[in-house]
Amino acid sequence: MSPDDITGGRGRRHYTRGVGRWEPGAGDRLREAALTLYLERGFEQTMVADIADRAGVTARTFFRYFADKREVLFDRSAELERSALAALEAAPATASTLEAVAAALSAAADLIGQDRELARKRQAVIMSTADLRERELIKLADLSAALAEGLRRRGVPAAEAALATEAGSAVYRVAFQRWVDTEDGTLDLHEAIRQSFAQLHTLTTPH
């Protein structure tokens, strides 16, 4: 799925509310403006009106795209969970438990890995505010729980399912951090995940 698909999906969803004209590209401009302001001034100090101003739209338009200023950072969570879960469910029956988890992470990387600068800014904002960090941790825990449930539906025992998704979550977070920290853009998120899985295997091999 491409970022255009996502934007298109969101655009259509909001358009059907019928509260006014949907402005092409406004969602992305608002997201960009919000992240820049959150980093410049701090999340708490940034008002919705500032974000709308910077994006060249009205506050009313902002609320057509996002419920509040926090949702700018989290509105893709549901999409991410759906994609990851669908990939896990689509993994062949012969796939090992961790291969099914890897398929889910790969789907997540398809979405997140498109724009490193956006991801880097979002991460910096989230880590700077305790409240946002808590919310991010809850979202990741919920995603992990949803994937574990998906594994159990595939017949994987509960403890193995939990361990595989928690380990997958660890792999993803570490790979994500390496990816956003690689300034020159030579590391792809998919490749970072693959490397972290390999490293996890090496780490867990008794010496």
Which CB, 16 or 202, lies closer to its own copies?
A: 202
Q: Quick one: 17 or 207, whose CB is closer to its own copies?
A: 207
By beta-carbon proximity to its own copies, the closer residue of 59 and 163 is: 163
CB of 97 to its own copies, least distance (A): 6
In sign, the C-alpha dihedral spanning 42, 143, 188, 9 is negative
- Which is nearer to its own copies, 16 or 204 (by Cβ)? 204
Work out how close the CB of 34 gets to its own copies at its nearest, in angstroms, rounded to a whole number.
23
Q: How far is the CB of 137 from its own copies (least distance, A)?
A: 4
Burial (CB < 10 A; 0-12, 13-18, 19+), residue 147, is: buried
The distance of closest approach from Cβ of residue 91 to its own copies in the complex, given in angstroms and rounded to an integer, is 13
Give yes or no for a contact between 189 and 113, defined as CB atoms under 8 angstroms apart.
yes
Task: List phi, psi (to 5°) of 49.
Answer: -60, -40
- Element containing residue 91 per DSSP (H, E): none
Interacting residues toward its own copies by CB under 8 A = 96-98, 130, 133-135, 137-138, 141, 159-160, 162-164, 166-167, 169-171, 173-174, 177-178, 196-197, 199-201, 203-207
Least distance to its own copies, CB of residue 107, Å: 20
CB 148 within 8 A of CB 162: yes
Question: Residue 51 class from Cβ within 10 Å (0-12 exposed, 13-18 middle, 19+ buried)?
Answer: buried
